[in-house]
Amino acid sequence: MKKFYKENKALSLSLIICAGLVLLYPWVLIFIWPIPFVIVLLKKLSPRIDKWGTKVDKIIQSTSKKIDSFGEDKVSKRIKATSNKLEKKPSLVKDFAKIAVGLVILVVGFNLLFPSNETSGTKIYEGGRKYVGELKNDKPHGQGTFTMSDGSKYVGEFKDAKFDGQGTITYDGNKYVGEFKDSQATGYGTFTMANGIKYVGEVKDYKFHGKGTFTSANGDKYVGDFYNGLRHGQGTFTSSDGQTTRGIWENNNLVKQY
């Protein structure tokens, strides 16, 4: 065991570190398991890398000799000084080469084992519907724009081919800006309608639902609870001429006034 450790210090230490990390955080195994194999591969490639380093050393020495023939101006002195430093540390070039090869192997191996399935592009559907944006598993996922056959358009976030997250949809001169869930306007948002109506507040399945503020085209305003698109619960109605009514509403009707 001691002999193996002395002959393979880097491999032994990496195995010990990897084992410790896996015991503490099992999920890191998917990222660190290639490290011991990379170290073994680098050890086998070491002779070749040493040859490359030797060639680089020869080039440096040759360059240094050529620099001597150029004279002792400031530029040549600096170049010569750098060259001399490298000549004194030939192993430095080899070490950098080994590290570079190791990193390349890790990156290529990771990409081969865990290929990215996220892309971007354009998809055309039946009826003239069109999607332009990010894709995952060949489905709309991420930021994108979906244009429907009737000219309606959604711009925003997608998840598994559905409107999901922040987005904006325009249809028949109407506009909704806010949150979406499973392709439905659900969460918090703002409706601006072609007929002059505006609603700001909580929504569910494209309907006013929860707390919100409804302003009609003539200036009337209701601030309060909504249910399934109707005034329902506590609220305050202010007419365009300034008169205020507070009370409880059910299905758009005032049932109790305060």
Q: Quick check: pTM over 0.75?
A: no
- Name the token pair of 254: 């005032």
Q: Which residues are paired to 124 by β-bridges?
A: 130
What pLDDT is recorded for position 51?
A: 65
The domain limits of the chain are: 33-113, 118-257
- Name the token pair of 90: 């030939």
What pLDDT is recorded for position 165?
A: 97
Is residue 202 pLDDT above 70, yes or no?
A: yes
Mean model confidence pLDDT for the chain: 79
Is residue 94 pLDDT above 80, yes or no?
A: no
Radius of gyration of the chain (CA): 34
Grade residue 182 by pLDDT with cuts at 50, 70 and 90.
very high
DSSP track, the chain: -HHHHHHTHHHHHHHHHHHHHHHH-GGGHHHHTHHHHHHHHHHHHHHHHHHHHHHHHHHHHHHHHHHHHT-S-HHHHHHHHHHHHHHH-HHHHHHHHHHHHHHHHHHHHHHHHS---EEEEEEE-GGG-EEEEEEETTEEEEEEEEE-TTS-EEEEEEETTEEEEEEEEEETTEEEEEEEETTEEEEEEEEE-TTS-EEEEEEETTEEEEEEEEE-TTS-EEEEEEETTEEEEEEEEE-TTS-EEEEEEETTEEEEE-
Burial of 163 (0-12, 13-18, 19+ CB in 10 A): buried
Over range 70-93, report the average pLDDT.
57
The C-alpha atoms of residue 187 and residue 180 are separated, in whole angstroms, by 7
CATH class belonging to 118-257:
mainly beta
The C-alpha atoms of residue 71 and residue 26 are separated, in whole angstroms, by 61
- Name the token pair of 202: 């909580």
Grade residue 34 by pLDDT with cuts at 50, 70 and 90.
low
What pLDDT is recorded for position 92?
A: 53
Q: Which residues are paired to 166 by β-bridges?
A: 179
- Name the token pair of 134: 């990010």
Is residue 206 pLDDT above 70, yes or no?
A: yes
The C-alpha atoms of residue 235 and residue 226 are separated, in whole angstroms, by 9
Query: Do 147 and 127 form a contact (C-beta atoms < 8 A)?
Result: no
Grade residue 59 by pLDDT with cuts at 50, 70 and 90.
low
Higher pLDDT, 26 or 208: 208
What pLDDT is recorded for position 123?
A: 94
The C-alpha atoms of residue 58 and residue 49 are separated, in whole angstroms, by 14
- The share of the chain scoring above pLDDT 70, in percent, equals 54
The C-alpha atoms of residue 28 and residue 30 are separated, in whole angstroms, by 5
- Structure confidence by residue, pLDDT tens digits, 102-140: 666 666 665 655 555 678 999 999 999 999 999 999 999
The C-alpha atoms of residue 65 and residue 248 are separated, in whole angstroms, by 96
Over range 155-174, report the average pLDDT.
97
Is residue 58 pLDDT above 60, yes or no?
A: yes
Within 13 Å, how many C-alpha atoms sit on residue 62's CB side?
Answer: 6
